[in-house]
Chains A and B, each alone.
Chain A
Amino acid sequence: MKRLALSVACAAIVSTAVTGSAQDARLANTTLTAIDGLKVGSVTLPGGTTGCTVILVDGEGVPGGVSQRGGAPGTRETDLLNPLNLVDKVNAIVLSGGSAFGLDAATGTSKWLEEHHIGWDVRVARVPIVPAAILFDLPIGNNAHEHPGPDCGYRAVESATTAPVSMGTIGAGAGATVGKMGGPGTSMKGGLGSAALRMPNGLVVAAIVAVNAAGDILDPDTGKVIAGARKPDGTFADARALLRSGALMPRGGTAPRAVENTTIGLVATNAKLTKAEVSRMALMADDGYARAIFPSHTMGDGDTVFSLATGRWDGQADVSLVGALAADAMAKALVQAVTQATGLPNIPAVRDLKK
Chain B
Amino acid sequence: MIGVYNIAIMKAWMWAGTAVLVARTVGPPPLANNHGELRRGTPERGQRVGAPQLANKTLTAVPGIKVGHYTLAERPTGCTVVLIESGATAGVDVRGAAPATRDTDLLNPAKMVEQIFGVSLSGGSAFGLSSGDGVLRYLEEKNVGIVYGNRHIPIVPGASIFDLGVGDARIRPTADCGYRAAQAATSAPVTEGSVGAGAGATLGKMAGMERAMKGGVGSAALEMQNGLIVAALVVANPLGDVIDPADGRIVAGARNASGRGFADARRIVRSGAPRGRSGDNSTIGIVATNARLTKAQASYLAQMADDGYARAIFPIHTVVDGDTVFAIATGTRSGEADMITLGSLAADVMATAVIRAAREATGLPNFPAVRDLPNPPAVRDRQ
**Interface positions of A (Cβ within 8 A of B):** 68-69, 71, 82-84, 197, 199-201, 203, 214, 219-223, 239-241, 243-246, 248-250, 253, 255-256, 274-277, 279-280, 283-284, 286-287, 290-291, 294-300, 318-321, 323-325, 327-328
Chain A residues lying within 8 Å of B339, measured Cβ to Cβ, are 71, 298-299
Asked if B315 contacts A290 (CB within 8 A), the reply is no
Nearest CB on B from A230, distance (A): 19
Residue B317 interfacial (CB < 8 Å) = yes
Chain A residues lying within 8 Å of B9, measured Cβ to Cβ, are 276-277, 280
Asked if B343 contacts A197 (CB within 8 A), the reply is no
Known: A69-B303, A299-B300. Is A249-B49 also a contact (CB below 8 A)?
no
**Interface positions of B (Cβ within 8 A of A):** 1, 4-5, 7-9, 47, 49, 95, 97, 222, 224-226, 239, 244-248, 266, 269-274, 277, 300, 303-304, 306-307, 310-311, 314-320, 336, 338-341, 343-345, 347-348, 383
Contacting residue for B270 out of A71, A84, A323, A325, CB 8 A? A325
Of chain A, the residue at the smallest CB distance from B336 is A250
Asked if B319 contacts A280 (CB within 8 A), the reply is yes
**Chain B contact residues, majority secondary structure:** loop
Nearest CB on B from A280, distance (A): 6
Chain A residues lying within 8 Å of B49, measured Cβ to Cβ, are 244-246
Of chain B, the residue at the smallest CB distance from A220 is B248
Asked if A328 contacts B318 (CB within 8 A), the reply is no
Chain A residues lying within 8 Å of B226, measured Cβ to Cβ, are 246, 249
Cα distance A153–B272 when bound, in Å?
Answer: 36
Cα distance A129–B311 when bound, in Å?
Answer: 34
Chain A residues lying within 8 Å of B304, measured Cβ to Cβ, are 295, 297-298
Contacting residue for B348 out of A243, A245, A276, CB 8 A? A243
Asked if B272 contacts A283 (CB within 8 A), the reply is no
Cα distance A256–B383 when bound, in Å?
Answer: 24
Contacting residue for A295 out of B5, B246, B266, B307, CB 8 A? B307
Chain B residues lying within 8 Å of A296, measured Cβ to Cβ, are 307
Asked if B270 contacts A197 (CB within 8 A), the reply is yes
Asked if B311 contacts A290 (CB within 8 A), the reply is yes
Asked if B341 contacts A201 (CB within 8 A), the reply is no
Cα distance A245–B51 when bound, in Å?
Answer: 11
Asked if B270 contacts A221 (CB within 8 A), the reply is no
Chain B residues lying within 8 Å of A245, measured Cβ to Cβ, are 49
Nearest CB on A from B210, distance (A): 19
Asked if A83 contacts B5 (CB within 8 A), the reply is yes
Asked if A246 contacts B224 (CB within 8 A), the reply is yes
Chain B residues lying within 8 Å of A201, measured Cβ to Cβ, are 272-273
Chain A residues lying within 8 Å of B343, measured Cβ to Cβ, are 295, 297-299
Of chain A, the residue at the smallest CB distance from B269 is A324
Chain A residues lying within 8 Å of B239, measured Cβ to Cβ, are 320
Asked if A323 contacts B315 (CB within 8 A), the reply is yes
Cα distance A220–B241 when bound, in Å?
Answer: 14
Asked if A318 contacts B5 (CB within 8 A), the reply is no
Asked if B340 contacts A300 (CB within 8 A), the reply is yes
Asked if B311 contacts A298 (CB within 8 A), the reply is no
Contacting residue for A82 out of B5, B272, B341, CB 8 A? B5
Cα distance A226–B72 when bound, in Å?
Answer: 47
